[in-house]
Amino acid sequence: MAELVPFAVPIESDKTLLVWELSSGPTAEALHHSLFTAFSQFGLLYSVRVFPNAAVAHPGFYAVIKFYSARAAHRAQKACDRKQLFQKSPVKVRLGTRHKAVQHQALALNSSKCQELANYYFGFNGWSKRIIKLQELSDLEERENEDSMVPLPKQSLKFFCALEVVLPSYDCRSPGIGLVEEPMDKVEEESGKIAVEYRPSEDIVDVRCEEELHGLIQVPCSPWKQYGQEEEEYLSDFSLEEEEFRLPELD
């Protein structure tokens, strides 16, 4: 049976490995490199996080590794548990466990992670994308407020984008639309400038009007600051010190 790999931040426990009994000799950066090299052989990794053991434990490190694929995580757990891998002593590897009552809303991947995932499964030349339409909606809202007695300042920067993803090998085209919004005060504080670049591909032969876009897949409106923060959103979820997560009992 085929496995569905969504373009979303992996938060499921069956995609998360807990690795402990890591040696205290190497630095955290060196362990990160060694862990990434060892576990990326089983599938594409979303993240590798290395943490020092709690003060009450013996010196050393533990790690949280997230896969996009649950099957890849299971293969890695079976192959690496109680193996030496890159150190003299064996490491312990278990799938994360979460209480059923703990639930989180899935977060969309940022652009670079989406491209990395697509390249891994479809190949670098196995897919392409093109922008159908890009429009700033904040100006439209500003014009709607022009009739009011007191002009309202622009509260946020909002953009609408419609694009199409093409998989030539499968003769598949998947259009979609999305909306992104960010408060103006936060945008100005961070950068002071706003720049939007639109580079349509040369093979575009049609631009769809709004009526033709109603049937497309829609993505909920999200603030820009969400992207780039996915790893921090669920970092505490997989800490070995928190009560809502536990390590499986060892034989």
Phi first, then psi: give them for residue 249, nearest 5 degrees. -65, 135
- pLDDT score at 102: 54
Band of pLDDT at residue 47, cut at 50, 70 and 90: very high
Residue 158's beta-bridge partner residues? 181
Looking at the domain that runs over 11-93, which CATH code has it been given? 3.30.70.330
Nearest to 68 by CA among 49, 42, 94: 42
Q: Taking every pair of C-alpha atoms in the chain, what is the biggest distance, in angstroms? A: 75
pLDDT tens, position by position, 33-45: 999 999 999 999 9
- pLDDT score at 188: 46
- Read off the pLDDT of each residue in 192-208 and give the average, rounded to a whole number: 43
Residue 63's beta-bridge partner residues? 19, 50
Domain map (residue ranges) of the chain: 11-93, 124-144+151-184+214-221
Q: Give, in degrees to the nearest 5, the angle at Cα 112 between 114 and 69.
A: 40
In this structure, the strands spanning 92-95 and 16-22 are antiparallel
Residue 242 has pLDDT above 60, yes or no: no
Q: Give, in degrees to the nearest 5, the angle at Cα 238 between 35 and 25.
A: 40
Given the structure tokens 């293969």, which residue do they identify?
75
Average pLDDT taken over every residue of the chain: 75
Q: Report the distance separating Cα 149 and Cα 145, nearest Å.
A: 9
Residue 15 has pLDDT above 90, yes or no: yes
- Read off the pLDDT of each residue in 55-64 and give the average, rounded to a whole number: 87
pLDDT tens, position by position, 211-225: 544 555 555 555 545
Instruction: State which of 100-114, 171-185, 220-234 shows the largest mean pLDDT.
Output: 171-185
Band of pLDDT at residue 244, cut at 50, 70 and 90: very low
pLDDT tens, position by position, 91-107: 999 998 765 545 667 78
**Three state DSSP letters for the chain:** CCCCCCCECCCCHHHEEEEEEECCCCCHHHHHHHHHHHHCCCCCEEEEEEEECCCCCCCCEEEEEEECCHHHHHHHHHHHCCCCCCCCCCCEEEECEECCCCCCCCCECCHHHHHHHHHHHHCCCCCEEEEEEEEECHHHHHHHCCCCCCCCCCCEEEEEEEEEEEEHHHCEEEEEEEEEEEEHHHHHHHCCCCCCCCCCCCCCCCCCCHHHHCCCEEEEEECHHHCCCHHHHCCHHHCCCCCCEECCCCC
In this structure, is the dihedral angle defined by the CA atoms of residues 54, 65, 99 and 72, taken in order, positive or negative?
A: negative
Q: Report the distance separating Cα 47 and Cα 231, nearest Å.
A: 8
- pLDDT score at 116: 95
**95 neighbors 75 (Cβ within 8 angstroms):** no
Full-model pTM: 0.69
pLDDT tens, position by position, 116-164: 999 999 999 999 999 998 888 876 555 555 555 555 555 778 888 898 9
- Read off the pLDDT of each residue in 175-197 and give the average, rounded to a whole number: 62
- pLDDT score at 250: 42
